Chains A and B, each alone.
Chain A
Amino acid sequence: MSESDRTDAARYWRGLEERTPDAALQVQLRPEFTPQADVAPQGLDRRHFMQVMGASFALAGLGACTRQPVEELVPYARPPEDLVPGRPLYFATALTLGGFASGVLVESHTGRPTKIEGNPEHPSSLGATDRFAQAALLDLYDPDRSRAVLHLQRIRSWEAFLQVLEPALEAQVPLQGAGLRILSGSSTSPTLAAQMQRIRARFPQARWHRYETVSRDGLRSATLAAFGRYVEVRYDFSQADVVVALDSDFLTTGPGCVRYAKDFMARRRVREGQYGMSRLYCIESTPSATGAVADHRLSLPPAQQLACAFALAFECGVHGTGVLGPAGAGDLEKWRQIIGLDLREHAGRSIVIAGDESPVELQALALAMNQRLGNLGRSVIVSEPIEVEPTSHIGSLRDLVQDMRAGQVELLLVLGGNPVYDAPADLDFTAAMAKVPLRAHLAFAEDETSESCHWHLPLAHELETWSDARAHDGTVSVMQPLIDPLFGGKSMHELLAVVAGDKERNGIDIVRRTWTERLGADFDTRWRRILHDGVVAGSEEPLLPLELQRDSLTQLFLGVASDLAPRLERRNDSLEVVFRVDPTVHDGRFANNGWLQELPKPWTRLTWDNAALLAPATAARLGLANEDMVELEQGTRKVRAPVWVLPGQPEDVVTLHLGYGRRRVGRVGTGAGFDAHPLRTSAGLVHASGLRLRPTGEQVKLACTQLQHAMEGRHLVREGSLSEFRDHPHFAQEMGHGVHAPTSLYPGFEYEGRAWGMVVDLGACTGCNACVVACNAENNIPVVGKAQVRKGREMHWLRIDRYFEGSAEDPRVVQQPVMCMHCENAPCEPVCPVGATSHGKEGLNEMVYNRCVGTRYCANNCPYKVRRFNFLQYADQETEVLKMLRNPDVTVRTRGVMEKCTYCVQRINQTRIQIKKEDRPLRDGEILTACQQVCPSDAIIFGDINDPNSKVAKLRQQPLHYGILEELNTRPRTTYLARVTNPNPERGAAAGHAGDVRGH
């Protein structure tokens, strides 16, 4: 099909789509006609074609004749200890992000890690994990990981590198290491700290620089101003009645987010007769996952937001603050008073939290407010720093660049990170680095930085290395390897050991050395216990009694006041730009991770791409629609980006997510998104004004998993305010059409014994997506790629639906995890001609892949549209290393078969067999589905609904309990608890509440 035909066809079919008479949100959508360029054979000559033809007809004819092939059995020559073939083992270790550890238990099948779960002993996890920890597994088996030491792109050995490095280090000894520089991200590892001290001992002049995209610099400088020293700040949301989040996404990102989500949601769990509930205000300059669950959400451009926080601080009585510009008038004025009052009423039981990426002003204001409200020491805990040698990242990087330019750096070791890609544009890091005579980069995969270094050294994955790290509260974990480095990678410690000139050169010895010093007597028992538990008991940082230095803060605030004033009068001709790390690929380190790339982002539901987010009003003013390509200009720098119109985005603000547009990355990340870093300068790391936007008239295609954004007045997500719930608890059930007396030609099923059921608490769901990734990992769900997602063929068994309510400017967002409902009258069952989907004795709606012929009738007939079909061969059956990733308890599906959520039937079966062998009844909560186990806020509850004492059975008795589309008499086993929000009575109406959610 020639190019022209395509566009013709496109015009025809697109014409139909564009005239969709849907909500304003819908109009801007523009799917395209996608010919199957990606699957049609390219350049098929006659000979090959005849082969394919012959083969495929043979396949069609004889494919059925399956005589069992002879397979091999390969036992061990000498069996390892305590390994029972076919029985998984679990090991405790930890994974870090931004240096902070979250404890995990890793499931290992005959020596290969297959699933990651949270470690219940670990304070940052309590048994749950975030999406990144779940996806770490795919990183471990990433076929694009670097597999060899490279020197100028040529393969060398580790020894060869040492032969270069060690003389270079020797040469530094007389100079006291003046020419030696080490660049890494933040770290909390005691071992690394010890190694750094030893390196200092050997090279007093050497310097250790730190840089991360999410640097948390704002918080550091704020603590410096507030306490005159670096401290760590952590929060106890179980103590908070009122929370004000300033650009903070504390529920889904940053150190401790999993724990925070757990504590926060525990304070919002309302049941019949139990109405205590905290309240969350979000004042943010770009929509965040946390904003989606807020009771009140203010969406303001950075300057106004700062002014608002400033005024709020004034309301709380913080010295040096005041009411400026818009904050003193109209709606913001009211908000200021309401929130201020709410905070003061809950002094000591509230939290004001600013985001990890927020600038120093917001952080300082938050600290000052917390101090003024007496939250410090109660809900907000200040402690000794958790990081090793905290420092200002941007300052540290600037120094390094200066030294490199000045030619003072002779040996640069870059440990992880990717500064060439993510250093602020104005520093021109790459050029400066080029001046360093010897540069080595220890990295997980070949990236932009390793390209411009002499040496590239493969970094071992955290599941392959010995190390240690600390949780958000300081608790220490020792990290143990689950598997030998697959591709001979080295850990940071192993490289630093060389620099320090230690004799311990391999991971375990290095880490043991640190801990022999720390543990002292009775090392072996304590060491074994630490490894077993995954945490060092009682090692969290104690609360630090500190006095706030009011003067320095006041100085800072006066400064803020003076330069805020000019920023507040808006120049119409230019826009403000806000930078955020991406919710799924983070700062770009996960760019080659298919699970995360294909994960729909909160709010936008975009996959595989980032975009320039615009408010509907702004887009309308500029005459832009989704997928329009624009050129963004900041000063002299330009970037081309596709537009995505996002309701709830503040006007005249363009949000750009970092982490995309990687130039040198594996096959998954290549070509995904655009790189926003060129617009990001050290002066405007978080936001900057003066952005110019020019339409190019071109279009690109983005893959969004949800085309319809309005609920069409159907009662899928049901919610109400706390007061409504108090007055008539059954409001959610009354919204439904009610179920007619179940009538059927066929006798109903009898469920003696167990009957599985699941309840999803919409009030607790943060939409963090951890469950979706967990489901991918547990059930061998394939990644299909952007082109297929655009066709609506993503394979996620569990999706999170997102609907907008109210106006396009200030919408409210409701989210709903949807998986198979395991209906008791399942519409999919009777229509399958071969009975490949059938009804189990315990009420499971079973899917038998090997019986499925692929009529897709079941998917058509499923009112919840939760069935997923392998339209093509999606599961990668060629790549060897990916075979190690698969869960051996779940079939890997081939093309042409249907699949869907099974309630993790493999887990059910294992436990059933176990309790039968032990001849005992099932304990409630003994079986956890993958999504339930990972959920940070316990929003998913699974169990036996026939056991009146089970958690799930009790929840089904709650007045908030309801099922979706029950009027179809499907009798779903997966049901929901309506969401209850706690709007401030003063503003309940204005914030647009259940009233209009309930619709018509």
Chain B
Amino acid sequence: MPQIFHHSTNTLARVTIFGAAFLVAAALGAATLLDRSAYWTRQTEVLKQPVPFSHDHHVGGIGIDCRYCHTSVENAAFAGIPPTATCMNCHSQIWADSPTLEPVRESFRTGQPLRWARVTDLPDFVYFDHSIHVAKGIGCVECHGRIDRMPLTHMASPLQMRWCLDCHRHPEKRLRPRAEVFNAKWEPPANAEAMRAQLAEEYRVTSMTDCSTCHR
């Protein structure tokens, strides 16, 4: 009886069989990586905004306090996005006729709000509260990164649940004095460990990992 297969098929068979195993493994690995990638989380993506607002200039440069615009950050869940009126406080004098700011002026004239694209966006089933984090001595930069160095704002953290949990399981690692919460440039002192332990004590910081802390 004639041979059906050339003897090379033996090697071919072996290669395919073992190859398949690796292929599957590789695919799974790729999926896992993609899941964590900045592409997937949109972490570094710069979204199109009606006005190219620069935190770098306003915070880093001029040194405006976060709370000047994000007024409710200390007493509400939502930090607050400044109404057009706030922009116009300054920009009715400064750059009063710069074309880039035209949308702002128009909004102020017509009363039609500016429509910003949301940069830092949690899923709707997550109930995050700015005020309590600020009150417990978690600095803005812990989640928003060095916002004071962002000419165009982008997300600084993956905002994935395991990332949230990292801190919620060991909150003391991220503490800073309440006075420094809004100071993006703050550097932890040499004795950071001791100081944070002492702050955790003082601010009664506890690890909150109940599901209902964020989901309800």
Contact = CB atoms under 8 A, between A and B. Distances in A.
B118 A71 contact: yes
23 contacts: A68-B42, A71-B121, A72-B116, A72-B117, A73-B115, A74-B115, A75-B81, A75-B82, A75-B84, A76-B83, A77-B107, A77-B111, A78-B111, A79-B83, A85-B72, A86-B72, A840-B211, A848-B212, A849-B215, A889-B127, A891-B124, A902-B212, A916-B135
Contact of A840 (B42, B113, B117, B212): B212
A112 to B, nearest CB: 16
A794 interface: no
Contacts of A84: 72, 75-76, 80
Contacts of B121: 68, 70-71
B76 A73 contact: no
A919 B110 CA distance: 44
Interface stretch (A145-153, A670-678, A905-913): A905-913
Contacts of A78: 83-85, 111
Interface residues of B, number: 43
Interface string A82-93: 001111000000
A361 interface: no
A768 B113 CA distance: 46
A75 B75 contact: no
B157 interface: no
B204 A916 contact: yes
Contact of B80 (A85, A890, A902): A85
A917 B216 contact: no
Contacts of A249: none
A462 B80 CA distance: 32
B199 interface: no
Interface in A887-925: 889-891, 902, 905-906, 908-909, 913, 916-917, 919
A838 interface: yes
A366 interface: no
Interface in A839-864: 840-842, 844, 846, 848-851
B47 interface: yes
Contact of B127 (A70, A73, A909, A919): A909
A87 B76 contact: yes
Contacts of B115: 72-74
B116 to A, nearest CB: 4
Interface of B: 40-42, 47, 72, 75-78, 80-85, 107-108, 110-118, 121, 123-125, 127, 129, 131-132, 135-136, 204, 210-213, 215-216
A48 interface: no
Given A75-B83, A85-B80, 12 more contacts: A74-B116, A77-B83, A77-B84, A77-B114, A840-B210, A842-B210, A851-B211, A891-B124, A891-B216, A902-B216, A917-B75, A917-B135
A74 B211 CA distance: 30
A714 to B, nearest CB: 32
Interface string A158-202: 000000000000000000000000000000000000000000000
A67 interface: yes
Contacts of A71: 117-118, 121
Given A844-B212, A919-B204, A86 B77 contact: yes
Contacts of A70: 42, 47, 117-118, 121
Contacts of A906: 127, 216
Contacts of A85: 72, 76, 78, 80
A905 B216 contact: yes
A917 B131 contact: yes
A87 B113 contact: no
A74 B117 CA distance: 9
B132 A913 contact: yes
B210 A846 contact: yes
A951 B76 CA distance: 30
Contacts of A917: 75, 131-132, 135
Given A67-B42, A70-B47, A84-B72, A75 B116 contact: yes
A723 to B, nearest CB: 45
Contacts of A86: 72, 76-78
Contacts of B47: 70
A74 B50 CA distance: 11
Contacts of A840: 210-212
B210 to A, nearest CB: 4
Nearest to A779: B216
A76 B113 contact: yes
A73 B117 contact: yes
B140 to A, nearest CB: 17
A841 B210 contact: yes
B72 to A, nearest CB: 5
Given A74-B116, A77-B107, A86-B76, A844 B83 contact: no
Residue from B78, B124, B132, B216 whose CB has the most chain A CB atoms within 10 Å: B216
Given A73-B118, A76-B113, A78-B84, A905 B78 contact: no
B60 to A, nearest CB: 22
Nearest to A903: B212
Interface string A31-67: 0000000000000000000000000000000000001
A846 B211 contact: yes
Contacts of B127: 889, 906, 909
A78 B110 CA distance: 10
Contacts of B124: 891
